[in-house]
Amino acid sequence: MKKTRVLLADDHAVVRAGICNALLGMPEIEVVGQVGDGPSVIKGLVDMRPDCLLIDVTMPDFEPIKTIRQIRHDYPQMKIVVISAYDNDYYVQGLLRVGVNGYYLKDQPLGDLRLTVQRVLAGERWVSSRLLDRLVGQPKTAAPPMPLTTRQRDILRLLQQGLDNQSIAQKMGLSVKTIENHLTRIYRQLKVQNRLEAVNYILHHPEILGLSGEAAAEIDTADTASSTTKAINILVVDDNASYRHQLQRMVGKVCPRAKIYEAENIIETVHLVKQIEPELIFMDVVLGEENGIHCTQRVKTIAPLIKVILISAYPDRGFRRMGTEAGATAFLDKQDLNTSALQHIIDDVMS
């Protein structure tokens, strides 16, 4: 019988030893490696290719939500069990939502750890019993009392990607102090206490990252009687923030009742597709070091009915052919993407 290969990650050697001892009674398990910090986890996954990762996400140099989401993306078949001393609801739910299969509290009997591992390897999701009653049937947090500004949405998007304040400041061209002030206001507005709770709030309420068509176009609904009036979720994917905002404004003028979301890379796009199920995506072919054709393939695998319009400033027959093979509905030159073309595309999607 083939053994399940396990990588154990915890920054305390004594804890790792205790967990290894607990797993000795499971002959189907083989601990193939032990690591104690974030970079070592990533290296261990590459080198050892385990079937299961047992991990304390509070290790040094490890950003829990961002890194677990990336690990889940890179190793979709691997089981992930968090071993933690933290039972904060936001913390637990946030990790479960980005791909964790099991959650074991360190103050519980080691027999519960064996049970958690067994259940997870059997294909179930499993959490310590003390957490279960709180997680089941917990009411969702109320929606924010007022819409977020464009800058607040941009900050939350970067926060969700796991960036720290300094990285957010550099990306947005602002000072760290300005970002801190914005975050303080955002936390107050969302009625959360910290960045982890804010990220979990977004997981529960992805709609707060969307922008209404009216707001995007900066127009009054009374001026849009002849425009498309049916509600629709539209996702704009481009690594250029300026162009994303330009395209959002154009979409808003054509479809003021649209809810418009934005993404700049494949992981963010896939995450939003699963959360908001957009009817239409405008996807740039070039996404930094990634490409929109590969992203289209991922999207169509998850949601085959979504219409994907590939766009590019460098129209190429090869791109067009590969895009069609990936499942794109159309391929357009960015120069040809005006309000008339958008109106035609959106009307076609909603007809």
Task: Tell me the H-state helices in the chain.
Answer: 13-23, 38-48, 64-74, 89-97, 110-121, 129-135, 150-160, 165-172, 176-190, 195-204, 213-217, 241-254, 266-276, 292-302, 317-326, 339-350
- Look at residue 87 in the predicted model and tell me its pLDDT: 77
Please determine, looking at this structure, whether the domain spanning 4-135 carries the CATH number 3.40.50.2300: yes
CA distance 276 to 207: 7
CA distance 224 to 230: 12
- Matching residue, tokens 């261990």: 44
User: Domain 140-208's class?
Assistant: mainly alpha
Beta bridge partners of 281: 235, 308
- Look at residue 66 in the predicted model and tell me its pLDDT: 81
CA distance 34 to 17: 10
- Look at residue 145 in the predicted model and tell me its pLDDT: 52
Q: Phi and psi (nearest 5°) for 32? A: -95, -10
**What's the token pair of residue 1?**
């019988």
CA distance 169 to 115: 44
The residues, any chain, with a CB within 8 Å of residue 64's CB and separated by 6 or more, are 57, 58, 91, 94, 95, 196
Task: Tell me the H-state helices in 175-314.
Answer: 176-190, 195-204, 213-217, 241-254, 266-276, 292-302
CA distance 190 to 164: 19
CA distance 76 to 304: 19
**Cβ atoms within 10 Å, residue 307:** 18
**What's the token pair of residue 351?**
């007809």
With residue 278 as reference, give the H or E element that holds it: none
**What's the token pair of residue 301?**
């695998």
CATH 3.40.50.2300 residue ranges of the chain are 4-135, 210-350
Please determine, looking at this structure, whether the domain spanning 210-350 carries the CATH number 1.20.1050.140: no
Positions in the chain whose pLDDT score sits under 70: 89-90, 132-146, 218-230, 351
CATH 1.10.10.10 residue ranges of the chain are 140-208
